[in-house]
Structures are given as C-alpha cells and as structure tokens.
Structure 1
Amino acid sequence: MVTALDDAEVSTVLVVTAHPDDVDFGAAGTVAAFTDKGIRVVYCVVTDGDAGGFDRELDNGGMAELRRAEQTEAAKRVGVTDLRFLGYHDGTVEQTLGLRRDIARVIRQVRPDRVITSTPERNYARIQPSHPDHRAVGGATLDAVYPDARNPYAFPELLNDEGLEAWSVKEVWLTGGQSSDHYVDITATVDRKIAALRAHVSQTAHIADGIEQFVRGFLAANAKAAGLPEGSYAEGFQVVSTG
C-alpha cells in the first residue's frame, strides 16, 4: 500500500474530472479540508456536462452554460475559485493524445504536488463511477502525469510555443474505485460537501429530499472502513505514487 504525502508537504492540488459535480460527489469534503489548511486547489473539468440534467429545454449550449455556473458556485462553497473548463462534449470523451496534451498543459500551468482524478478501472460493485467519460479522463490524466507533463520532449509545443516547463507530480489520488487505501476524515467539512452538491440544481433537484441522507450514508460507511469513531464521515481514495 502506498502512503500518501503529508498535507504539510503539499502546496497545490489539481482536481481533474470529466463532468461538473464529479468532484463534489467524490472529493468535495477533502477539498474543503485542503483549502482550510491553506492548500491551493484548482479544478480542471474536461466536459461542460451538456448531456446531463433533466430540463431538456436547455439544449443547444444552455445546459453547458448552466452546469459551468453550477460548478463554479459549488467550488466557491469549498474554497475553490480557479476552474479550467476544457470544453469536450459530455458522453463522448476518449483517451486520446489530444486529451493527454490538454491535461498535461494544465498540469504544467498549475504545477501541483498532488492530482485527484477518477479511476480508469471499471467498478463492478457500483456501475455509476464507471461512466466511460470518467474512465477516459482518469486514464488520460494518469498518462498526462506520467510521462507527459514531466517529459520536456512530450508535446514539445507546450514548451516551445507556450513556454510551459516540464513538471513532475508527486502523487495521484483516484476516486470511484471498488476499494480505497487512504481515507480523509471530512466530519468537519461534510456540511460544505453537501452544500456544494446542492449547488448542482440541474443534477440534484429531483433527489433534493434524499440527497443528504444518501451522501451521509456512504460517507459513514467509508468512515467505518477507515476505523473512525461512530458519527464520523470520510472520503476514500486509492493513492498512486509517481516516484
């Protein structure tokens, strides 16, 4: 099992997700804990979530604009104000060289110590985390971390045309897997996680009455698996060392 870096060794975290709301379901309590410690957190959202939601009157770009606004508001609730939207189409993301380059660009711009993204592996216990976009983004992000972002000869246009020097990420935390090897106690920030989720009105309004109970239920199960006291809440990750 890989041991995660101590947060005192981390100054910047980059979160790379497929859709608006992915970070809030998977890691918003952890993000709030980071920002409370003074750690800079940046979001990179690959799609605008234009295929999501339940109000199909908002097609032709309207849903994408709404979801960017919802993610921006949700981010503020956990202390994040720097968001990068890559503009890929929801539901059609593939693990291409172009996506690797676009994520490597953001890594070189942000220069994070830690990256959080979705697992590229299929979750056979719960199908929801295994959306094809999630797996494609997770795989492309891992490739962007190693070898692309750290190799000055990968995507030479990033250095030659944009002046983006190579950068080595120290570790990656994966969300959405069947098992976790690292847990973060978010008991103190769970209310802000739920507030961030509620900001995604287009995605959660239909379950507004039950979302808090649902979220607290799986976070309590994580806390139990982590050996935390009863009444605690936790988010789980798989830690990948890049050294």
Structure 2
Amino acid sequence: MREPKPPERVLVVAAHPDDVEFTCAGTLAKWARRGSAIALVLCTSGDAGTEEAGRSREATARIREAEQQAAARVLGLAEVVFLRYPDGLLQPTLELRRDLVREIRRFRPHALVCGDPSVYFYGEDYINHPDHRAAAQAALEAAFPAAGMPLLFPELGLPPHRVREIYIYGAAQPNVWVDIEETLPLKAEALRCHRSQIGDWDPEPTLRAWAAAEGRTVGLRYAEAFRRMVLEAED
C-alpha cells in the first residue's frame, strides 16, 4: 500500500464539533504538519449536545464552538466555519448544498474530506447519527457536480471549482490507509478539548486501539482508513 501525498488544500465537512477528532484528526494533523492548508466546515454547532439541565442551545453552541476552535489549533487547521444549522435536525437540503458549494468555491480545495452517508451501523453497538449522514450526503453532492458547474448557484458570485479527490472517513469500503503514528497523540489532545462531551475520560487508549485495528489491516502500527475517490487526476 502506498499512501497518497498530502493534498495542498483540504476542505473537511462534518456535522458536529468533535466529529473529526473522533475520526480523521490524525490524518488532518499529519497533512497540516506537511504544509496542507485545511479548513473545517461544521454544519451545526452541536447545540443539542448536552445533558446538563437548564443549559440552553445558545449556551451549548458557544461552549462547543470554543472547544472546536481550541481543537483546531491543536491540529493546525487554518480555519473553522460554523454554518449553524440546528443540531439533531440536519437534512441534506438544497440550502445546505448551496452553503457547502459556497465554501468549496471560496476555499478552492484540492481534496474534500467527509463521512460516508451510506453507513447506518458501525459494529454491534453504534447507529450512525442522522446528522452525520446528512452532512456527508450534502458534502458529496456539493463537491460533485454542483461546485464545478457555473450555472448552478450563480447567485453566490464565486467562480466554479472542481474538487480533484475525496477522502471518505468511516467508509464501508476503504481503499487507503494513512499512517498516523506520529500524530495520534495530537488526535487525543484535540479530542480532550471537547470537555463538555467527554468529561474527564481519557480518549487516548480508545483512539489508540481503534487506530491499531485499522493499521493491522495493512501492516501499520496506527492508521486511519478512507475511501479515496480521484475525480480529476493531477496534470
């Protein structure tokens, strides 16, 4: 297995704060260390993500956005964009697709990173959150074909942009594995920033076990797996 070289510019789309820290943050930190410019777009601010009695959606959103900004600094991400759709109610609407097309045309990434909208179940104990599937579906539909078509969403006032490749994390059929041994501690440090979600739990042993299981597939110590799709080969 040959690991692809880091893309020059990367746009990551996820549903909630902490989604990338649980999934692909080791890869993002590795790419950032090697010079990739990475923007993270979150469709919601995780404003329903609390069990604390009396805390409002607005207060929860402020906390979770601050936690995500802190995690992004740990990983070396260039920017974080919050679209602020309601948490727990996300749908792959045309409005969301247009918002993501705007971010693609604005940031002009070579690669898009998102989840797998086709996966409902992981193992025997986790049902994929509907927001995760909605964000992934909207991201893929924004990247292809919408962002590259000049007659779609001309009201955005931005030139079309074609994404060259897509990396799908949590994919049902991965075909690429990224060695994250050097950045696994950063992944854990970034996840610890989401204190409102994980409390005093130390995520590193769990993240290490997950990465070891992925790595064994291809003879790596620690890895993250993706389905990589090349839509437009480099010149």
TM-score by length of 1: 0.90
2:228 match: 239
Deviation at 1:215, TM superposition (A): 1.2
SS of 1:93's equivalent in the other structure is coil
Aligned residues between the structures: 231
Instruction: Say whether the 8 Å CA contact 1:129–1:177 is kept in structure 2.
Output: no
Aligned residues: percent identity?
38
Q: Map residues 104-183 of structure 1 onto 2, 5 A cutoff.
A: 104-126=101-123, 128=126, 130-159=128-157, 164-183=158-177
- Gaps of at least 5 residues in structure 2 are none
Q: Say if 2:14 and 2:114, in contact at 8 Å, map to a contact too.
A: yes
Partners of 2:15 and 2:113 in 1: CA distance: 12
Contact 1:121 1:130 in 2 (8 A): no
**2: distance between equivalents of 1:215 and 1:152?**
42
Residue of structure 2 in register with 1:223 after alignment: 215
Moved more, 16-25 or 56-65: 56-65
Q: Which moved more, 1:62-71 or 1:127-136?
A: 127-136
- Superposed CA deviations along residues 62-106 of structure 1, whole A, max 9, x for unmatched, are 001100000000010011141110010111011110010000000
Are 2:75 and 1:78 aligned?
yes
Question: 1-side partners of 2:212 and 2:51: how far apart?
Answer: 29
1:94 alignment counterpart: 91
Residue 58 (structure 1) shift: 2.4
Q: Which runs of 4+ in 1 moved over 6 A?
A: none
Alignment partner, residue 6 of structure 1: 5
Is residue 66 of structure 2 the alignment partner of residue 69 of structure 1? yes
Supply the RMSD in Å over aligned alpha carbons: 1.8
Counterpart-to-counterpart distance in 2, 1:226 and 1:241 = 21
Range moving further from structure 2, 218-227 or 117-126? 117-126
Greater alpha carbon shift after TM alignment, 55-64 vs 27-36: 55-64
The 1-side partners of 2:196 and 2:54 are apart by 12
Q: Is contact 1:54-1:202 (8 Å) kept?
A: no
Q: Does 1:26 align with 2:18?
A: no
- Describe the SS at the equivalent of 1:99: helix
